[in-house]
């Protein structure tokens, strides 16, 4: 049973797949950035759907506005304006629904690919994202990070910024004999220690199967108790079917599982709460209907 005094915070779900479902322009390599480029009202409407479903926090649709998705030339010419627009759209809808806005700071060189991370190039890209999102966000959400090095780069770029930084790691799809691991192979306790050292205001896990989240949250909680840390933890899983992690980053539009309907996803979220999570939401393939059901289920206790 979830303690009655545990305040829960609800994130939104996966913007990219929601845009695809709505009929917005959507393809690789631009992914969710294409709607910003060609039909931004779809982004506005998706934010509204998540807010109406009960999301307390709306995440800017800036995940794919990086050179990896747009190419170096288009990022240089279009990137700042598209990132700024993503923040403005989220801020507009947040104002209507009294939500907060999280500024998405994504993996810069491909999701799930810590081997592609280039520290010497990261700061320039992050600076574009941060400067363009700055007027619109309440929280910085460094999400789908595969390695601690990626988290360090974000924290370095945000030095001096007083807004909360939430660090969210993505995990390997399958548990190892020693439990969950970041996609870099680093352990969850290592991730906890890095989040604390970098001054994170929350530690989350995202864009991984729901089945690995509870174990990660339990390990994170154990490490925090060992270190006497008081850091909120949370999870927002994807609904991807299992796929080969070693395929090229963002090389295909993966199929969505049919067994993760809103009740099933809500049951997973209940397990995360029992493992200590207080921040909950959804990633790729998790829509407003999942957020609405999850919130209703968890608030019943």
Mean pLDDT of 105-114: 96
Position with higher pLDDT, 247 vs 226 = 226
Q: How many CB atoms lie within 10 A of CB 71?
A: 13
Q: What pLDDT is stored for residue 250 in this prediction?
A: 60
CB 170 within 8 A of CB 144: yes
Mean pLDDT of 41-51: 98
Give the per-residue pLDDT at 2: 38
Give the pLDDT mean for 145-158: 98
State the pLDDT at residue 254: 73
How long a stretch of residues is the chain? Answer: 301
The mean per-residue pLDDT over the stretch 239-254 comes to 63
Q: Dump pLDDT digits (tens) for 2-28.
A: 333 479 999 999 999 999 999 999 999
Domains of the chain: 9-300 (3.20.20.330)
Which pLDDT does position 300 carry in this prediction?
86
Q: Which of 218, 263, 216, 208 is nearest to 239 (CA)?
A: 208
Query: Pick from 183, 184, 192: which is nearest to 212 by CA?
Result: 183
Average pLDDT, the chain: 94
Q: Looking at residue 241, what is its pLDDT?
A: 81
Q: Which residues of 211-234 are buried (b: 16+ CB within 10 A; e: fewer)?
A: ebbbbbbbbbbebbeeeeeebbbb
State the DSSP string of the chain.
Answer: ---TT---EE----HHHHHHHHT----TTTTTHHHHHH-HHHHHHHHHHHHHHT-SEEE-S-TT-SHHHH-HHHHHHHHHHHHHHHHHHHHHHHHHHT-EEEEEE--SS-TT-GGG--HHHHHHHHHHHHHHHTTT-SEEEEEEE-SHHHHHHHHHHTTT--S-EEEEE-B-SS-BTTB-BBTTS-BHHHHHHHHHHTT-SEEEEESS-HHHHHHHHHHHHHHHHHHT----EEEEE--BPP--TTSPTT-S-PPBPSS--HHHHHHHHHHHHHTT--EEEE-TT--HHHHHHHHHHHHH-
Neighbour tally for 262: CB within 10 Å: 18
Beta carbons within 10 angstroms of residue 138's beta carbon = 15
Write down the pLDDT at residue 127: 98
- Provide the pLDDT for residue 75: 98
d(CA 36, CA 89): 10
At 194-216, the pLDDT tens digits run 999 999 999 999 999 999 999 99
241: left (phi over 0), alpha (psi -120 to 50) or beta: beta
Question: pLDDT per residue over 263-293, tens digit each?
Answer: 999 999 999 999 999 999 999 999 999 999 9
Euclidean distance between CA atoms 179 and 113, whole angstroms: 20
d(CA 16, CA 18): 5
Kind of pairing, strands 57-59 and 202-206? unpaired
* Dist CA 159 CA 278 (whole Å): 26
Mean pLDDT value of segment 164-168? 99
Confidence at residue 1, expressed as pLDDT on a 0 to 100 scale: 31
CA distances from 48 to 57, 58, 180, 232, 275 (A): 11, 9, 34, 26, 30
60-64, 246-250, 262-266: least confidently modelled range: 246-250
């Amino acid at each position: 049973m979830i303690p009655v005094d545990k305040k829960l915070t609800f994130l939104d779900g996966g913007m990219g797949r929601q845009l695809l479902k709505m009929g917005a322009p959507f393809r690789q390599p631009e992914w969710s950035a294409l709607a910003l480029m060609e039909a931004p009202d779809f982004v506005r409407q998706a934010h509204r759907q998540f807010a109406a479903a009960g999301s307390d926090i709306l995440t800017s649709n800036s995940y794919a506005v990086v050179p990896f998705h747009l190419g170096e030339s288009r990022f240089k010419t279009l990137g700042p304006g598209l990132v700024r627009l993503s923040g403005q759209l989220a801020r507009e809808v947040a104002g209507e629904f009294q939500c907060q806005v999280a500024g998405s700071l994504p993996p810069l060189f491909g999701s799930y690919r810590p081997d592609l991370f280039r520290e010497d190039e990261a700061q320039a890209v992050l600076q574009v994202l941060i400067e363009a999102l700055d007027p619109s966000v309440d929280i910085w959400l460094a999400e789908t990070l595969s390695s601690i090095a990626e988290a360090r780069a974000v924290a370095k770029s945000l030095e001096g910024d007083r807004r909360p930084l939430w660090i969210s790691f993505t995990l390997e799809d399958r548990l190892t004999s020693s439990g969950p691991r970041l996609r870099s192979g680093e352990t969850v306790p290592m991730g906890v220690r890095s989040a604390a050292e970098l001054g994170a205001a929350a530690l989350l896990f995202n864009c991984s199967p729901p089945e690995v989240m509870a174990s990660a949250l339990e390990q994170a909680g154990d490490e925090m108790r060992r270190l006497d840390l008081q850091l909120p933890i949370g999870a927002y899983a994807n609904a991807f079917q299992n796929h080969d992690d070693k395929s090229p980053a963002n090389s295909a539009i993966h199929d969505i599982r049919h067994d993760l309907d809103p009740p099933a996803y809500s049951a997973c979220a209940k397990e995360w709460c029992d493992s200590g999570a207080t921040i909950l939401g959804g990633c790729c393939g998790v829509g407003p209907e999942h957020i609405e059901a999850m919130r209703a289920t968890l608030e019943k206790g």
